[in-house]
Amino acid sequence: MEKTTGRDVRRKKAGRPKKNQYYVPGFCGAVAYAWKGEYDLAIEDCTAAIWINPNFTMAYYDRGQLYYIEEQYDLAAIDLSKFVDLSDDPEMIEQVEEILKEISGEA
């Protein structure tokens, strides 16, 4: 039987995803820049996070949203499609697929 640690129990209770899939140290800088409207800096931080961890789904989501805001629809579609490929969150996938339809003119 596998030993369960207190940390495992806390992570499960909090519903926290695996660290390597959703978190990269320093990524909160991208969020802060986005809140301040400094989209270019936020995109740079997301790009750095993806470089550090190519499976960091939320960096693709956030960068895709930032590209969308900046009306760089081709880049937004690439990142949002990558998010769909990597994500295991059906609600967010559905939301992103609607955005992708809008970008492609299918909406």
Q: Give the chain's domains with CATH numbers.
A: 19-104 (1.25.40.10)
Distance (Å, whole) CA 50 – CA 47: 5
* Lowest-pLDDT range of 1-5, 14-18, 88-92: 14-18
Q: Are 64 and 47 in contact (CB under 8 A)?
A: no
Confidence grade of residue 107 (pLDDT, cut at 50, 70, 90): low
Q: Are 96 and 80 in contact (CB under 8 A)?
A: yes
Query: Sign of torsion, CA 26 56 47 95?
Result: negative
The arithmetic mean of pLDDT across residues 21-44, rounded, is 78
Distance (Å, whole) CA 106 – CA 103: 8
pLDDT at 25 over 60: no
pLDDT per residue over 57-71, tens digit each? 999 999 999 999 999
The arithmetic mean of pLDDT across residues 33-49, rounded, is 91
* Phi and psi, residue 80, nearest 5°: -70, -35
Q: What is the CA 19 to chain-centroid distance, rounded?
A: 13
